Amino acid sequence: MNAERKALRVGKALGMAILLGAVAGAMLFQIFQQTRHQSVQSIACENLIQSCRISVDGQNLEVSFSATPSALKPFLLTVKAVGVENVSASFHMANMEMGMNRYALIPVAEGVWQAKVILPVCVAGRRDWILVLTLDESIIQIPFATQK
Ligand SMILES: [Cu+2]
């Protein structure tokens, strides 16, 4: 009886420890995520085909599409940014899971990064997308629309 009670107590303590550990882990992960990405900025680009000049975290960049984006039609995404080590792009829709649309941009010249992008068709018929660019530690969101 006594041993049983002891085992129960140990089990409860262990469960509590695991729970606290999980909570602490989740909090640490969140802090890590926040410090890793210093800023998320949403930027309006009038015309991504003519290229969009952006200044973020003291870094000047230029973002452009090679053609008017349209679902299932490949286009080139070009980002001009000097002095960055990693550029990646992902495409999202607000409040709608559109699957994995993630691209690692490849440096094609000094400070010029590119990826060939193919956007999926939206089952809801929406055309509003958000390009999320990650340049090292900075994240930039650029809303745009696809053509029919
Ligand atoms: Cu959609």
For the record, the structure tokens of 135 come out as 């340049």
pLDDT digits (tens, 9 = 90+) for 58-115: 889 999 999 999 999 999 999 999 999 999 999 999 999 999 999 999 999 999 999 9
DSSP secondary structure string, 27-41?
A: HHHHHHHHHHS-EEE
CA of 138 to the centre of ligand 1 (A): 25
Task: Identify the DSSP state of 15.
Answer: H
What pLDDT, in 10s, does the model give residues 40-65?
Answer: 899 999 899 999 999 988 889 999 99
Can you give the pTM of this predicted structure? 0.74
Q: How far is the CA of 75 from the centre of ligand 1 (A)?
A: 19
Burial readout 33-68 (b: 16 or more C-beta within 10 A, e: otherwise): eeeeeeeeeebebeebeebbebebeeeebebbbeee
Task: Look at residue 125 and tell me whether its pLDDT is greater than 70.
Answer: yes
d(CA 116, ligand 1 centre) in Å: 20
